[in-house]
């Protein structure tokens, strides 16, 4: 079933919530879901035509309710935590973990993040043995641009979590790629660091600084680079390299992922069914069917 609210389809979020709650595959989800860790109040996460906008943390929900009037919000916890719970995930004990996985800053369709990957690869290769061996996980768009080459030259395997943002296996692949590692690195404050901590890894914000370019008119009007620098300044000590405070790191990750606000399977199932009867959902559902019908008519007439 194609989702009505696009954010629910990203990185397999709708698949995860269906698995967890038992909500049927035959219906689009009646909610929009925050798909990544963010301190910005991007309007893509603030939809008025949806019964509810779901955010990972209390702080995220408060930012959006302050920035946008007329939206209905809820703190629900991150889909990644629901996936770990659904899988009854058990991380390896620290003593059995080894090596590191690295998530370099990544570009998307509308924002290009550029850093010196040759320097990054050389610095990673020079890390002490306690951080070796190192695997690099590139975002699909950067992998397709050939940015794996500097890491491959230094003997580091390069993997990806999926071929697009709508790959339903994306977060499953994240777990497969990260499981068993001891350290997780990124030179960008990103969801990967939080997810790594949730999987019992030690997370580090470390690596070359990146620059940001965007042809998109929305981001041209926003100081996106400065937003990242403020974000890094707030959290760099939490994810410092080396020797972060692991208890503090776990506390921050739990807070930002909304662990305390997670719903039980029954709570989520009842809530999703209640929202399915919301007038906003019905309207969008009918519009979606109308668009699908027009597409079928065009295909039949060709």
User: Does 84 map to a domain?
Assistant: no
Lowest mean pLDDT among 123-127, 167-171, 205-209: 205-209
Do 237 and 271 belong together in one domain? no
Do 111 and 235 belong together in one domain? yes
Amino acid 94: pLDDT: 86
What pLDDT band is residue 48 in, cutting at 50, 70 and 90?
A: very high
pLDDT tens for each residue of 149-197: 999 999 999 999 999 989 999 999 999 999 999 999 999 899 999 999 9
Give per-residue burial for 235-274: e unless 16+ CB within 10 Å, then b. Answer: beebbebeebeeeebbebbbbbbbbebbbeeeebbebbee
User: Cα dihedral angle (20, 24, 29, 34), rounded to 10 degrees?
Assistant: 20
Per-residue pLDDT at 217 exceeds 60? no
Give per-residue burial for 125-162: e unless 16+ CB within 10 Å, then b. Answer: eebeeebeebbbbbbbbbbeeebbebbeebebebbbbb
Q: How far apart are CA 35 and CA 99, in angstroms?
A: 28
Placement of tokens 């659904």 in the chain = 86
Q: How far apart are CA 171 and CA 159, in angstroms?
A: 13
> Which of these three, 222, 239, 257, is where a domain ends?
257
Do 239 and 153 belong together in one domain? yes
Do 130 and 44 belong together in one domain? no
Do 186 and 224 belong together in one domain? yes
Domain encompassing residue 218: 91-257
Burial class (CB in 10 A: 0-12, 13-18, 19+), 289: exposed
What pLDDT band is residue 219 in, cutting at 50, 70 and 90?
A: low
User: Does 83 map to a domain?
Assistant: no
- Structural tokens at position 43: 């309007």
What is the Cα 10 distance to its own chain's centre? 9
> Which of these three, 257, 274, 289, is where a domain ends?
257
Do 163 and 280 belong together in one domain? no
User: Does 1 map to a domain?
Assistant: no
User: Does 148 map to a domain?
Assistant: yes
Do 65 and 104 belong together in one domain? no
What pLDDT band is residue 13 in, cutting at 50, 70 and 90?
A: very high
Nearest to 33 by CA among 59, 63, 60: 60
Kind plus residue range of the DSSP H or E element containing 203: strand 202-205
User: Does 118 map to a domain?
Assistant: yes
Do 153 and 41 belong together in one domain? no
Secondary structure of 5-73 as H, E, C letters: CHHHHHHHHHHHHHHHHCCCCCCCCCEEECCCCCCCCCHHHCCCCCCEEEECCHHHHHHHHHHCCCCCE
Do 277 and 252 belong together in one domain? no
Mean pLDDT (the chain, rounded): 89
User: Does 107 map to a domain?
Assistant: yes
Question: pTM of the full predicted structure?
Answer: 0.91
Amino acid 254: pLDDT: 98
Do 157 and 237 belong together in one domain? yes
Lowest mean pLDDT among 31-40, 168-177, 196-205, 239-248: 31-40
Do 30 and 159 belong together in one domain? no
Give me the number of domains the chain comprises. 2
Residue 124: give its domain's CATH number.
3.40.50
Nearest to 102 by CA among 131, 137, 146: 137
Placement of tokens 């300044």 in the chain = 233
pLDDT average, residue stretch 213-226: 58
User: Does 146 map to a domain?
Assistant: yes
Do 110 and 126 belong together in one domain? yes
Per-residue pLDDT at 302 exceeds 60? no
């Amino acid at each position: 079933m194609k989702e009505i609210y696009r954010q629910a389809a990203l990185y397999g979020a709708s698949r995860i919530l269906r698995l967890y709650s038992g909500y049927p595959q035959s219906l689009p989800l009646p909610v929009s879901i925050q798909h990544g860790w963010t301190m910005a109040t991007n309007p893509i996460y603030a939809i008025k035509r949806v019964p509810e906008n779901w955010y990972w943390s209390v702080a995220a929900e408060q930012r959006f309710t302050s920035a946008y009037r007329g939206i209905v919000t809820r703190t629900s916890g991150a889909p990644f935590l629901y996936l770990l719970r659904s899988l009854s995930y058990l991380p390896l004990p620290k003593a059995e973990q080894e090596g590191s996985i690295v998530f370099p800053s990544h570009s998307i369709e509308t924002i290009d993040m550029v850093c010196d990957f040759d320097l990054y690869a050389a610095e990673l290769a020079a890390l002490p043995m306690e951080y070796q061996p190192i695997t690099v996980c590139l975002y699909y768009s950067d992998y397709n641009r050939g940015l794996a080459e500097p890491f491959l030259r230094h003997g580091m395997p390069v993997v990806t979590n999926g071929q697009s943002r709508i790959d339903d296996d994306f977060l499953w692949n994240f777990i497969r790629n990260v499981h068993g590692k001891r350290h997780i690195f990124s030179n960008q404050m990103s969801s990967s660091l939080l997810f790594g901590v949730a999987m019992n890894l030690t997370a580090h914000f470390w690596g070359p600084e990146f620059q940001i370019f965007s042809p998109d008119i929305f981001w041209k009007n926003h100081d996106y680079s400065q937003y990242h620098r403020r974000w890094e300044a707030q959290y760099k000590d939490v994810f410092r390299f080396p020797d972060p405070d692991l208890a503090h790191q776990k506390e921050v990750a739990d807070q930002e992922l909304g662990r305390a606000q997670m719903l039980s399977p029954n709570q989520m199932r009842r809530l999703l069914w209640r929202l399915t009867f919301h007038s906003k959902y019905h309207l969008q559902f009918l519009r979606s069917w109308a668009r699908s019908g027009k597409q079928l008519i065009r295909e039949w007439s060709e």
